[in-house]
């Protein structure tokens, strides 16, 4: 009976139909979607932290306003994504608990520090650009709630991209000190940008299954190649140097060639052992503890709860 259902399910996907929460789906499809959407949601709230720490130190009122709005959007994306994942049967509480306990992953790139204002500008432009490449592709995928969340997220990300581009161009065309600061930030972030799309297709575990079911609409390497096509010229156009002497487009294959990122470091970082993992999860844990009384009060307005001292 399941074989018949599976065939029907795969036929619907092949025809480009959307799968909705109450439709039959294979257990593996459900589990994979929960894993991916949950990780994506966590990436949004943890991703708010490296940029968020620059709100108080933003250079000027306009930049502060724009960054505040951007960071707020990222947290809003997490809300949309947690709601999409909840349609598959895992509660928000469970997801947040798995994040805090280190059981669930989130994007590796947010485990690196933002030393200067320029680091936050590079994230706003070039990490958000990566997110758009990945999410525009996957918004055409098979699971309705995830696709709808991605469409809305991409619309907001497109605005972040403009803000990020403007901030980077401002520095890259500014004083020698500003140019140096933004170049140094690019030097620090380039390898993170390259790993953002996940391991090479040879090493990727889930791509094949996820592409068959149209959860992923492009492989990790396809997204990376598309990104390089779109952004290498834009980065060079403003006079920045990409810190990879091997980066070039092979005109015969039409593929970018580059120094392979350090996948061993990547493996460590996604398994909890990066420069800022403990700090990032520490902040989340604190937020959970401080917000516990609110959640309790919402559930049970008459409960007595002693709010911990800040």
Instruction: HSE, CB side, 13 Å, CA atoms: give it for residue 147.
Output: 18
Q: According to the binding rule CB under 6 A, does residue 119 interact with ligand BYC?
A: no
Task: For 167-180, give the DSSP string.
Answer: HHHHHHTS-HHHHH
- Interface with ligand BYC by CB under 6 A: which range of 18-26, 205-213, 253-261, 284-292? 205-213
List Cα–Cα distances, 46 to 26, 103, 116, in angstroms: 30, 15, 18
User: Among 63, 90, 105, 188, which residue interacts with ligand BYC (rule: CB under 6 A)?
Assistant: 105
Least Cβ distance, residue 102 to ligand BYC (angstroms): 12
**What 8-state DSSP symbol labels residue 253?**
T
Considering the complex, state which of residue 44 and residue 172 has its C-beta at the smaller distance from ligand BYC: 44
Q: According to the binding rule CB under 6 A, does residue 205 interact with ligand BYC?
A: yes
Q: Is 119 buried (19+), middle (13-18) or exposed (0-12) by CB count in 10 A?
A: buried
Q: How many residues of this chain interact with ligand BYC, rule: CB under 6 A?
A: 31
List Cα–Cα distances, 230 to 15, 43, 161, 167, in angstroms: 30, 23, 13, 19
Q: According to the binding rule CB under 6 A, does residue 277 interact with ligand BYC?
A: no
Least Cβ distance, residue 36 to ligand BYC (angstroms): 5
Q: Which residues pair with 249 in a beta bridge?
A: 256
What are φ and ψ of residue 146, in 5° steps?
Answer: -70, -45
In angstroms, the CA 290 to CA 283 distance is 11
Site string for ligand BYC, 120-159 (x = CB under 6 A): ---x---xx--x--x-------------------------
Q: According to the binding rule CB under 6 A, does residue 165 interact with ligand BYC?
A: no
In angstroms, the CA 211 to CA 78 distance is 23
Considering the complex, state which of residue 106 and residue 256 has its C-beta at the smaller distance from ligand BYC: 106
List Cα–Cα distances, 135 to 6, 22, 72, 151, 191, in angstroms: 26, 24, 19, 8, 20
Considering the complex, state which of residue 24 and residue 115 has its C-beta at the smaller distance from ligand BYC: 115
User: Among 29, 38, 40, 141, which residue interacts with ligand BYC (rule: CB under 6 A)?
Assistant: 40
Q: According to the binding rule CB under 6 A, does residue 284 interact with ligand BYC?
A: no
Q: According to the binding rule CB under 6 A, does residue 303 interact with ligand BYC?
A: no
Q: According to the binding rule CB under 6 A, does residue 221 interact with ligand BYC?
A: no
Helix (H, G, I), strand (E, B) or coil at 217: coil
Positions touching ligand BYC (CB under 6 A) are: 35-36, 39-40, 43-44, 47-48, 51, 74, 105, 107-108, 123, 127-128, 131, 134, 195-199, 204-207, 210, 216, 220, 270
């Amino acid at each position: 009976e399941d074989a018949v259902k599976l065939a029907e399910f795969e036929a619907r996907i092949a025809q480009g139909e959307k799968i909705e929460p109450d439709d039959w789906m294979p257990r593996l499809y459900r589990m994979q979607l929960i894993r991916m959407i949950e990780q994506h949601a966590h990436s949004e709230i943890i991703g708010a932290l490296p940029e968020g720490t620059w709100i108080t130190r933003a250079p000027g009122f306009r930049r502060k306003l724009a960054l505040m709005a951007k960071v707020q959007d990222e947290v809003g994306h997490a809300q949309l994504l947690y709601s999409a994942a909840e349609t598959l049967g895992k509660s928000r509480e469970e997801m947040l608990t798995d994040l805090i306990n280190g059981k669930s992953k989130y994007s590796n790139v947010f485990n690196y520090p933002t030393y200067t204002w320029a680091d936050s500008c590079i994230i706003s432009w070039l990490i958000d650009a990566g997110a758009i490449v990945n999410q525009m592709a996957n918004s055409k995928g098979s699971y309705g709630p995830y696709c709808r969340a991605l469409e809305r997220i991409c619309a907001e990300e497109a605005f972040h991209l403009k803000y990020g581009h403007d901030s980077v161009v401002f520095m890259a065309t500014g004083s020698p000190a500003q140019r140096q600061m933004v170049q140094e930030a690019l030097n620090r972030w380039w390898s993170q940008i390259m790993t953002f799309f996940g391991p090479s297709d040879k090493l990727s575990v889930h791509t094949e299954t996820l592409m068959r079911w149209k959860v992923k609409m492009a492989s990790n390497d396809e997204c990376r190649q598309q990104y390089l096509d779109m952004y290498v010229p834009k980065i060079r156009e403003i006079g920045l140097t990409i810190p990879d002497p091997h980066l070039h487009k092979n005109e015969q294959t039409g593929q970018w060639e580059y120094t392979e990122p350090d996948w061993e470091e990547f493996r460590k970082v996604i398994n909890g052992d990066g420069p800022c993992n403990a700090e990032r999860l520490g902040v989340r844990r604190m937020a959970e503890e401080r917000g516990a009384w609110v959640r309790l009060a919402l559930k049970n307005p008459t409960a007595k709860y002693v709010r911990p001292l800040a």
